[in-house]
Chains A and B, each alone.
Chain A
């Protein structure tokens, strides 16, 4: 293997890692705000992929219309799901477990609903951009550059929203202290709904970007959910910046690991990494050690 091929693999790892970061940040956002571990997060990705497929392929819309529409659809779906299930469990006795169990049920429900509605054939979406970018001997398809650019831009926008907008302040205030936030007039319930919607939208963006290179199928949610979990464990559960770093690290570790072994061991490598991190730093690579 030449050094160029190796560099290509690292860059590919960073590109895929940027979408893992999107998934992980959605999980981290929900957990950070509500302390709810959302096992249905992978289904937001899966359904987001189908939304893009139906808008861009079946209806033939241009990607720049289809993707934002699909993402908005996922946002509404995320809010609807929060309002109809989590909302009623949140704060009740044993809610920490019951929300995990309920989202697990939701996950399997949505997966099988998708199987019935969309069928079991694997779908794919054509490349949004064609061409190959060459940097010396390193060749990267333009589609993959686009994935990285869109993921990073989304993360940039999210960081800005969380830091500098009233919505972001409200989300952060609610996550720090729900009651204190309520005292100053922040509607916690609405913030929770919006948080779920945003997380679902992040999942749909990741799905839209990966749709041309990975297939869209009813079972695609669980593997990506587990990837997202590895990301949040690496970065520290509930930490938004941690999820970004965790995603990129996971992408690179997988790319190198697959080079060393073979692609069928990819997931074993990432879960092995997660268990190693749990042994060594349970609070995550970037999280604070709890006192």
Chain B
């Protein structure tokens, strides 16, 4: 990820962006756009989780807490204070980032991976239970509804842009903008000195520290940025779906979905989480009729991908092209 991108790769990225931008002009099928919007929200979540887990080597299993905090934070501010969704999604991200700071500090003091996994999972459960218990504020498992949608505006030359359930196109472009922003932030950070320190840390904490890298500060920065991005994704989701329940946004099932996406796509790669999010969101839609089997399939996907596809889909091509021994030296 540190080699300068080849012209071929630049073309690939540009092509993907153009295809995504042009798609709503070809089809305005509500269902298709809805699936793609969800894939993009999950893509942001998956990229941000991968940023912490794949790049910074902090194996957290409780990132859905930040999704829920962003979603509920933004929705509640919007409902109670009447602020515009355009503002509250960033406030939602900020709330998630503060929570990330709070939980990041203690777990960064420990270097043991299982401790990090346990504490983040426990924290997410605290968030879920609190959201379902504070029924006066959140309406608990009955669901929080009446969440304001994004305000419309007028674009000169294009006419009025209205965010309504019937027209998915504005949501599609907004989700795409947030996705580009998130991936852009992560890529920029990975290509900066931070990124180099991260990789050094992941490959050998003691060695990195002996070279003067401040482990705690770097990791905390990544953790907070990642929580912020997940929070913004959650906030967008809240104003898009306009109904929230603790089980849907703070349940461990959501985290499992994201983990499956990243593992299938490729942990520790930039494009892996996006590919995984797209592939699995579409797969879910195919499985819609088999709803009872959905989570069973996710469980199986996680087990099979760590066993048989440890580096994910996006590295398959690379592995086929090169002889195994070359791939092995590259891994070192």
Contact = CB atoms under 8 A, between A and B. Distances in A.
Interface of A: 31, 37, 39, 85, 88-89, 92-94, 96-98, 100-102, 104-113, 115-116, 222, 226, 229-230, 232-233, 237, 264-265, 267-268, 271-272, 274-275, 278-279, 282
Contacts, number: 126
A278 B115 contact: yes
Given A89-B307, A108-B298, A116-B292, A282 B110 contact: yes
Contacts of B331: 93
A237 B112 contact: yes
Contacts of A39: 117
Interface of A is mostly: helix
Contact of B303 (A109, A230, A232): A109
A268 B126 contact: yes
Contacts of B152: none
A105 B106 contact: no
B15 interface: no
B299 A272 contact: no
Interface of B is mostly: helix
B59 A105 contact: no
Given A96-B113, A102-B307, A275 B130 contact: no
Interface in B162-198: none
Contact of A278 (B106, B303, B307): B106
Classify chain B's interface size: 35 or more
A222 B252 contact: yes
Contacts of B252: 222
Nearest to A282: B110
Please list the 7 inter-chain residue pairs (A to B) with the smallest Cβ-Cβ separation, ordered nearest first.
Answer: A105-B302, A109-B299, A108-B299, A112-B296, A37-B114, A105-B303, A271-B122
Contacts of A232: 118
Interface string B114-130: 11011101110110011
A92 B310 contact: yes
B115 A233 contact: yes
Nearest to B310: A98
A144 B133 CA distance: 29
A232 B113 CA distance: 14
B118 A233 contact: yes
Nearest to A31: B114
Given A100-B114, A106-B299, A112-B296, 15 more contacts: A37-B118, A105-B300, A105-B301, A105-B303, A108-B296, A108-B302, A116-B292, A116-B296, A229-B118, A233-B115, A268-B129, A268-B133, A279-B106, A282-B106, A282-B109
A97 B59 contact: yes
A265 B331 CA distance: 47
A116 B293 CA distance: 8
B300 A109 contact: yes
Nearest to B103: A275
Contact of A104 (B107, B259, B292): B259
A275 B123 CA distance: 8
Contacts of B61: 100, 104
A37 B117 contact: yes
Contact of B306 (A105, A110, A274): A105
Interface string B271-311: 00000000000000000000011011011111100110010
24 contacts: A85-B303, A93-B331, A97-B59, A98-B306, A100-B114, A102-B302, A105-B300, A105-B302, A108-B299, A112-B293, A112-B299, A115-B292, A116-B296, A226-B125, A229-B122, A233-B115, A237-B115, A265-B129, A267-B129, A271-B122, A271-B125, A275-B103, A282-B106, A282-B115
B243 interface: no
A109 B296 contact: yes
A82 to B, nearest CB: 13
A105 B59 CA distance: 15
